[in-house]
Amino acid sequence: MADKATAKKAPVKKAPAKKTPVKKAPVKNAPVKAALAKKPTAKNAPVRKATAKTAPVKKAPAKKAPAKKPSTTRSSTERRTSAPHIVEHPTVVARAARGKAARAETPRASHNGWEPAADRPDPVALIEEQNRTRVPDLVPVRHGRMMVSPFTFYRGAAKIMATDLKDTPRAGLIVQLCGDAHLSNFGVFASPERNLLFDLNDFDETLPGPFEYDVLRMTASFTIAARNNGFSAADIRSVTLEAVRSYREGMAQFAAMRTMDIWYARMTEQEMLKAMDMARATQKDKAARKAAKGLEKTALKNAAKARSRDSMQALSKLAELVDGQYRIISQPPIVIPVRDLAESLGLSSDDVQAAVLEQLRSYRESLQDDRRRLLERFEVVDVAHKVVGVGSVGNRAFIALLQGRDEQDPLFLQVKEATASVLEDHLPKSVYEQPGERVVQGQRMMQAASDIFLGWTKGVQADRYLYWRQLRDMKGSAIVEAMVPMGMTFYAHACGWTLARAHARSGDPVAIAAYLGKSDTFDRAVTDFSNRYADQNEKDYEAFLEAVHTGWLEAREGV
């Protein structure tokens, strides 16, 4: 992937013969299916540009039918059964030369010169554009969460930054992008072997693209978060520099590794604690060593907390026993059981059950055989709509409570809506027809180890796409707002190295490392960019607040 240019792909034309016939569901289930995967109302529907009328089709000669261009988008089955793809294997010397040659066209220092484009779109308009496809009742909740600070606004502004990144310098080195690699989209979770890993954990915007996009999104988030925490200018710059330096040095490390060693590389709980201990040993004064020791204690406490976050813990927080069986507790507007949605529409429990089982059957088809067999040991007990995150608020998201051998053997799955990546407005479209599959395949490519229940399906009787995973599997995230300079600097180091490892799995670490080089030229340039972008983010945040305060946007705070 690293040796391929980002050439524009041909428009996808789906041949009628290749479409799978759509089976019509029984009429009695139609309302509940709409409730489970509800389309936006007419007034909130996205405005679509009218397409040009198709020109009259000329009759071809009787013996020569007009040839149709092959689609660039392939189904999962086609990708698994097609002929092997031939990949070129240039020498290490040639790969390094390619990276160094990229400096001539895109100097490393050029990454510091960002300025907002003269025709830059209104940031509030971009937020409204995203809102059109979201649940109308939850849009004010999204706005309320973005209002908290410039940092929370930045978390919800991936589309705004994607628009800005399209005009930034690129070295032409392609990787699988996270697409939204801000510092709160890193965290810990359990590997299939039950070890705690630190890795990226959000892939809603994943897409192949220039490696710089993720680096700039990550480093700008550190500058914005450090400002938000009241750090000094020197500490803000130091934290941001550490994030870039760790990425650059990490990529150099992967460039020197064997291919399989890169694939198996990961940051475990033990490695993080060891790194903290080494950092403490290098501190010269007593106060710094004491602070470093406190950082270790906090890390151990957070790891223990993460280990307790499993389906049993979720059961105690999200469900209650009703007539001997667990049911998800209604906590509107954050958690609303599907049974309540069904009752408001006058539907029966049988209608709800039929729709849920139809979705589950479709989801199982996306799993490996062994995971599918494992899932079959569980039965669905309850389903609810659940609001999650900041940027994701308003997209359809559900939780499903499943039961194994008895009521003390729960499994919570999360079902999230997948839409087109914000990067697809400016980069080649995804090769996956199904956005849910795009998310899952991108996650599997970038993470050192992924959830065994990652899968995807299409929404019931609606143009909606979903992906599935476990709700809580020893997941934990850092409390960014509570970080001090030393803690955020260490966190920046962990995030930079982790992003480099994720990129090295799909891109060419030799070429990228050669481009970045051994000096801090790239580090300083990206840090300068981050400072400039943090300034712009604050301006966008103020414009957003004004839109709320003047009544242009509705917000619901504290939810």
DSSP element (H, E) containing 196: strand 196-200
pLDDT at 290: 80
pLDDT at 284: 73
Tell me the C-alpha distance between 178 and 439, whole Å: 9
Same domain, 161 and 201: yes
Same domain, 507 and 373: no
Same domain, 494 and 458: no
Tokens of residue 125, six digits:
């308009």
pLDDT at 69: 47
Same domain, 384 and 520: no
Same domain, 457 and 493: no
Residue 55 lies in a domain: no
pLDDT at 294: 84
Same domain, 462 and 514: no
Handedness of CA 116, 121, 124, 127 (dihedral sign): negative
Q: What is the pLDDT of residues 465-479, one digit of tens each?
A: 999 999 999 999 999
Q: Which amino acid type is present at position 345?
A: L
Contact 437, 494 (CB under 8 A): no
DSSP character for 418? E
Handedness of CA 143, 149, 150, 156 (dihedral sign): negative
Contact 423, 163 (CB under 8 A): no
pLDDT at 75: 55
Q: How many CB atoms lie within 10 A of CB 289?
A: 15
Sequence-distant (≥ 6) Cβ neighbours of residue 49 within 8 angstroms: none
How many domains does one find in the chain? 2
- Mark 192-209 as b/e (b = at least 16 C-beta within 10 Å): eeeebbbbbbbbbbbbbb
348 CA to centre of own chain: 36
Same domain, 113 and 216: yes
Residues lower than pLDDT 70 in the chain = 1-85, 344-347, 349, 460-462
Contact 224, 216 (CB under 8 A): no
Tell me the C-alpha distance between 209 and 445, whole Å: 14
Sequence-distant (≥ 6) Cβ neighbours of residue 320 within 8 angstroms: 326, 327, 329
pLDDT at 390: 81
Alpha helices in 137-285 (DSSP H): 139-146, 150-155, 158-165, 211-228, 233-255, 259-264, 269-282
Same domain, 321 and 187: no
Q: Which amino acid type is present at position 41?
A: T
Same domain, 240 and 375: no
Residue 203 lies in a domain: yes
Q: Which of 439, 470, 501 is the last residue of a domain?
A: 470
462 CA to centre of own chain: 23
Tokens of residue 96, six digits:
């390094």
pLDDT at 74: 53
Q: What is the pLDDT of residues 217-240, one digit of tens each?
A: 999 999 999 999 999 999 999 999
Any idea what the Cα angle at residue 201 is, between residues 222 and 463, rounded to 5°?
Answer: 115
Tell me the C-alpha distance between 559 and 554, whole Å: 14
Of 370, 388, 355, the closest CA to residue 458 belongs to 355
pLDDT at 85: 62
Same domain, 377 and 520: no
Query: Among all chains, which residue has been given the structure tokens 């499943």?
Result: 402
Q: How many CB atoms lie within 10 A of CB 113?
A: 13
Residue 485 lies in a domain: yes
Tell me the C-alpha distance between 329 and 322, whole Å: 10
- Mark 147-175 as b/e (b = at least 16 C-beta within 10 Å): bebbbbbbbbbbbbbbbbbeebbbbbbbb
Same domain, 258 and 405: no
Of 555, 522, 533, the closest CA to residue 244 belongs to 522
Whether the link from the prior residue into 333 is cis, omega within 30° of 0, is yes
Q: Which of 470, 504, 538 is the last residue of a domain?
A: 470
Q: HSE-up of 107 (CA within 13 Å, CB side)? A: 7
Domain carrying residue 107: 92-267+480-549
Of 207, 228, 89, 251, the closest CA to residue 152 belongs to 228
Q: What is the pLDDT of residues 304-322, one digit of tens each?
A: 999 999 999 999 999 999 9
Radius of gyration for the chain, computed over Cα atoms and rounded to the nearest angstrom: 24
Residue 279 lies in a domain: no
- Total-model pTM: 0.83
Residue 46 lies in a domain: no
Tell me the C-alpha distance between 179 and 535, whole Å: 21
For 1, 88, 362, 504, the CA distances from 85, given in Å and listed in that order, are: 11, 10, 29, 20
pLDDT at 25: 43
pLDDT at 78: 52
Contact 267, 498 (CB under 8 A): yes
Q: Which of 413, 436, 470 is the last residue of a domain?
A: 470
pLDDT at 244: 98
Same domain, 382 and 411: yes
Of 464, 263, 468, 475, the closest CA to residue 371 belongs to 468
